[in-house]
A and B are shown apart, each in its own frame.
Chain A
Amino acid sequence: GQNIDQPTEMTATEGAIVQINCTYQTSGFNGLFWYQQHAGEAPTFLSYNVLDGLEEKGRFSSFLSRSKGYSYLLLKELQMKDSASYLCAVRDNDYKLSFGAGTTVTVRA
């Protein structure tokens, strides 16, 4: 099975940087995903890592260390619209995604 941990809540100021950590213990690993979910909406894809290292996409970056079972999502130049839940998900060798409980990020002016 999968055990995926991420902080429950984080608060940051508009224009700042926030790093959301995710640790996982899995019976099989075939990639790590980050999703964004605004309240009352469906999750939407943000990033994907399968090899160690940093993937950058605009204001969002995601890092993976497979040996440590660790990933982070970095949100730069925070905007009010970034207030949302951020979900870490691990794919196993049967192509199933297991999700962490999510981190609610609140951006304050």
Chain B
Amino acid sequence: TAGITQAPTSQILAAGRSMTLRCTQDMRHNAMYWYRQDLGLGLRLIHYSNTAGTTGKGEVPDGYSVSRANTDDFPLTLASAVPSQTSVYFCASSYTETGELFFGEGSRLTVL
């Protein structure tokens, strides 16, 4: 069973370049989330979507954009990467009624 899949697993990116992190889930969860995890800061919410066609801003949305065209996919785009966006990015999904998040394996992004 796939669950929730992220790609790429890791990436090195030059500053100023654009990048899209992909996230797909096959659990038919209505809600999806993007978090970044940095040492000492824990998981911080970037953007979220409670249902297909809607998105919302989290705690640290600047420099990132998302779309939710369908239930399964929730890509995260960095339009012009900066070194401070070096982080591990986790995609997650859930049913809003239960709230339990299921996480992808993470995407490690390094911006030089």
Residue ranges of A at the interface with B (Cβ–Cβ < 8 Å)? 1, 30-31, 33, 35, 41-45, 48, 87, 89, 91, 94-102
In the assembled complex, which residues on chain B have CB atoms less than 8 Å from the CB atom of A100? Answer: 42
Stretch at the interface among B20-28, B61-69, B75-83, B95-103: B95-103
Residues of A within 8 A of B56 (CB): 94, 96
- Beta-carbon contacts under 8 Å, B84-112 to A: 90, 94, 96, 99-106
Q: Is the CB of A96 within 8 A of B48?
A: yes
- For this complex, 20 residue pairs linking A to B, each with C-beta atoms less than 8 Å apart, are A1-B59, A33-B99, A35-B101, A42-B90, A42-B104, A42-B106, A45-B101, A48-B99, A95-B31, A95-B94, A95-B99, A96-B33, A96-B48, A96-B56, A97-B33, A97-B101, A99-B42, A99-B43, A100-B42, A101-B41
- Identify which of B35, B48, B100 contacts A45 (C-beta below 8 A): B100
Report the contact-size class of chain B (Cβ under 8 Å from the partner). 20 to 34
Contact B100 A33 (CB under 8 A): yes
* Chain B residues with CB under 8 A of A99: 35, 42-44
Q: Which of B42, B59, B100, B103 contacts A101 (CB 8 A)?
A: B42
A5 to B44, CA, bound (A): 14
